[in-house]
């Protein structure tokens, strides 16, 4: 996806609205505003649009999503029809693919992992189902919020995997920091789709072009007077309303400043919505790689880790042979992802290779061709993958979203309840903010 081609002439003089950030929320809002005749200019710090939704195919020669990858709860997801019908992209029904498990049976865990037996798969699924039942059976109104980890502390290695799947592998944070209420609030229908041509590419093709000024870092928003002054690395822009779509921590730590400061309760809300971290280490192999697991085609694979491997998780998560390609994507989240951010790209690739070698043997290294690791924590305009709510603070997602003075508006995945941490959360809050802006300008 050529993200530059999805922007149109950014030389909009005195726009009604400035949108800070050209991710899904910002682009969705801008399209809604333009359709209603509102002049708008989107300011983006990077040299591309998309934010944490980014597809490119230069690295591996096939579409590769650096960020959001799944259409979660696709039967309810508002982006599903955009990607499939409006953009015309193909859909892969990931929900029909069964996970593959590799476990250690030797006492010291150093003799290589083997494919789980039918009985072991039953035990793994029982642990997953038990956690799921406890999560939905918990009466948070009566008992108050708690963490997913505290609700059902792991008692064996199968429980540990279930916790990792809810925590580091999905939310990018340890399950002892994940709110049960936040989990209960979100959509989870079980219908999961993927997009071979790239999820981000499909979303932005469907949304269409907007006026975007790239490589423009917004530093402050002065809303003291009648007009708002947006100070950026490219100068000052004056407008009537501003929509801010940046990640929560950029507001919380005042990298982006407001004059006057945002209300205290607003700032407190952003502080309670920190960023989780989920990165990908993607490896491309010789086509022979596909013969190692002949039945793998876009399957999750969970590998019990060997005892002598330096790591913080007892299991590793890989996506094997995505869309039939001789590739593997390792998902690393939470503390492990933070540790690997400090490592070189080669070290991260070697870590993922070592994980696979614990199952397939050291000869797999001979099949390796090239690799890539995302580093969302090191990206100053991302600060991580997506935001989670601290325990007991789920309600603050809406407090963070609420407009200030009918001139400052906010949107992003972190500010949605049911679609929190997911792409449709950004899309719907962007549209909602745009409609609020339209009403305020009338």
Where b means 16+ CB within 10 Å and e means fewer, 14-47 reads: ebbbbbbbbbbbbbbbbbbbbeeebebbbbbbbe
Q: Residue 112: what pLDDT?
A: 73
Question: Is residue 6 over pLDDT 70?
Answer: no
| pLDDT, average across residues 91-103 | 96
Could you read off the pLDDT of 135-172 as tens digits, one per residue? 999 999 999 999 999 999 999 999 999 999 999 999 99
Q: How far apart are CA 233 and CA 333, in angstroms?
A: 33
Instruction: Check the annotation: does 44 bind a ligand.
Output: yes
On the question of pLDDT at 107 being above 60, the answer is no
Please give the C-alpha separations between residue 3 and each of 6, 32, 49, 250, in angstroms, as whole numbers: 5, 19, 6, 23
Residue 2, pLDDT above cutoff 50: no
Question: What's the pLDDT at 29?
Answer: 98
Q: Which domains does the chain have, with CATH numbers?
A: 3-55+197-274+381-441 (3.50.50.60), 97-185+278-373 (3.90.660.10)
Q: Is the pLDDT of residue 181 over 70?
A: yes
Q: What is the DSSP secondary structure assignment for residue 139, as one 8-state letter?
A: -
Kindly report whether the global pTM for this prediction surpasses the value 0.85: yes
pLDDT exceeds 80 at position 182 = yes
| 34-41: average pLDDT | 96
Q: Helices (DSSP H) in 234-344: which residue ranges?
A: 248-252, 264-271, 334-341
Percent of the chain with pLDDT over 70: 96
Provide the mean pLDDT of the chain: 95
Strand ranges, E, within 36-125: 40-43, 55-56, 64-65, 70-71, 92-93, 100-103, 114-115
Q: For 130, what's the count of Cα atoms within 13 Å in the CB-facing half-sphere?
A: 19
Report, as an integer, the average pLDDT of 405-423.
97
Percentage above 90 pLDDT, the chain: 91
Per-residue confidence (pLDDT) for residue 111, from 0 to 100: 61
Tell me the mean pLDDT in the region 245-250.
Answer: 98
pLDDT at 342: 87
**Is pLDDT above 90 for 326?**
yes
Average pLDDT of the segment spanning 201-207 = 98
- Does 331 carry a binding-site annotation? yes
């Amino acid at each position: 996806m050529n993200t530059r081609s999805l922007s149109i002439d950014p030389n909009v003089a005195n726009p009604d609205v400035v949108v800070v950030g050209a991710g899904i929320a910002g682009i969705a809002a801008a399209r809604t505003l333009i359709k209603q005749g509102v002049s708008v200019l989107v300011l983006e710090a990077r040299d591309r649009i998309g934010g944490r939704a980014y597809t490119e195919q230069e690295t591996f020669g096939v579409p590769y999503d650096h960020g959001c990858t799944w259409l979660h709860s696709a039967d309810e997801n508002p982006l599903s029809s955009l990607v499939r019908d409006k953009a015309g992209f193909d859909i892969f029904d990931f929900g029909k693919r069964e996970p593959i498990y590799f476990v250690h049976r030797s006492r010291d865990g150093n003799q290589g992992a083997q494919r789980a037996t039918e009985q072991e798969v039953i035990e793994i699924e029982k642990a997953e189902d038990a956690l799921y039942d406890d999560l939905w059976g918990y009466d948070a109104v009566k008992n108050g919020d708690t963490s997913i980890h505290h609700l059902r502390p792991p008692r064996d290695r199968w429980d540990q995997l279930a916790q990792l799947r809810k925590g580091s592998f999905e939310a990018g944070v340890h399950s002892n920091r994940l709110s049960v209420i936040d989990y209960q609030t979100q959509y989870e229908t079980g219908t999961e789709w993927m997009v071979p041509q790239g999820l981000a590419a499909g979303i932005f093709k469907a949304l269409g072009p907007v006026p975007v000024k790239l490589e423009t870092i917004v530093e402050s928003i002065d809303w003291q007077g009648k007009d708002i002054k947006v100070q950026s690395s490219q100068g000052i822009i004056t407008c009537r309303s501003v929509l801010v779509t940046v990640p929560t921590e950029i507001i919380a730590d005042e990298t982006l400043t407001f004059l006057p400061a945002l209300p205290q309760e607003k700032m407190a809300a952003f502080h309670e919505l920190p960023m989780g971290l989920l990165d990908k280490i993607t490896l491309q192999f010789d086509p022979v790689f596909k013969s190692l697991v002949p039945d793998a085609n876009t399957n999750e694979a969970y590998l019990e880790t060997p005892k002598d491997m330096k790591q913080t998780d007892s299991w590793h998560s890989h996506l094997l042979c995505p869309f039939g390609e001789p590739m593997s994507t390792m998902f690393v989240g939470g503390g492990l992802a933070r540790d690997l951010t400090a490592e070189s790209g080669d070290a991260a690739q070697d870590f993922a290779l070592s994980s696979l070698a614990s199952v397939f043997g050291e000869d797999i290294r001979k099949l390796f061709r090239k690799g890539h690791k995302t580093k969302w924590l090191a990206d100053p305009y991302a600060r991580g993958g997506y935001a989670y709510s601290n325990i007991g603070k789920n309600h603050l997602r809406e407090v963070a979203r609420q407009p200030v003075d009918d001139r400052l508006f906010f949107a992003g995945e972190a500010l949605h309840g049911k679609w929190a941490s997911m792409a449709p959360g950004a899309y719907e809050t962007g549209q909602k903010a745009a409609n609020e802006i339209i009403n305020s300008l009338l």
